[in-house]
Amino acid sequence: MLTRDSPRLAFVAQNTFLILLSLVLLPLDTFILTSTYLLEKFLPTRPSRHVTPKARKTILVTGVGMSKGLALARLFHTAGHRVIGADFESHGALVCGRVSRSLTHFHALRKPTEATGSVPYTADLLRIIRHEGVDLWVSCSGVASAVMDGEAKEAVEHATGCRAIQYDIRTTEMLHEKHSFIEHTAALGLPVPETHTITDRAAVRAIFGTAKQSGRKYILKPVGMDDSARADMTLLPRANAADTDAHLARLNISKQSPWIVQQFVRGREYCTHALVIRGRVKVFAACPSAELLMHYEALPDEAPLTKAMLSFTRTFAKEGGRSFTGHLSFDFLVEEADTREKDPEKITLYPIECNPRAHTAVVLFNDTPAMVDAYLSLLKDEDVDVPLVTPVKPAKYYWIGHDLVEMVILGARGLFGGTTTLNDYADELREFGSHVLTWRDGTYERWDPLPWWWLYHVYWPMQFLNSILYAQGWSRINVSTTKMFGV
Q: Distance (Å, rounded) from C-alpha 85 to C-alpha 68? A: 12
Q: Looking at the domain that runs over 267-395, which CATH code has it been given?
A: 3.30.470.20
Specify the pLDDT at position 213.
66
Q: Distance (Å, rounded) from C-alpha 328 to C-alpha 321? A: 14
Domain 58-170 CATH class label = alpha beta
pLDDT band at 262 (very low <50, low <70, confident <90, very high): confident
pLDDT band at 202 (very low <50, low <70, confident <90, very high): confident
Q: Distance (Å, rounded) from C-alpha 114 to C-alpha 122? A: 15
Is the pLDDT higher at 255 or at 358?
358
- Beta-bridged to residue 296, according to DSSP, are 397
pLDDT surpassing 90 at residue 116: no
Q: Residue 123 burial (CB < 10 Å; 0-12/13-18/19+)?
A: middle
Domain boundaries, the chain: 8-42+398-486, 58-170, 194-263, 267-395
Helices then strands (H, E): number in the chain?
16, 16
* Residue spans of alpha helices (H) in 43-168: 67-78, 119-132, 146-159
Run of H or E including 276: strand 267-277
Nearest Cα neighbor of 152 from 119, 177, 113 is 119
Specify the pLDDT at position 50.
72
In the chain, % helix, strand, coil (3-state, to 5) comes to: 45, 20, 35
pLDDT surpassing 80 at residue 368: yes
Choose the most confident range, by mean pLDDT, from 225-234, 259-268, 364-373: 364-373
Specify the pLDDT at position 240.
83
Q: Residues 132-142: pLDDT tens digits? A: 999 999 999 87
Q: Which CATH architecture has domain 194-263?
A: 2-Layer Sandwich (3.30)
Q: How many CB atoms lie within 10 A of CB 94?
A: 18
Compute the chain's Rg from CA coordinates: 23
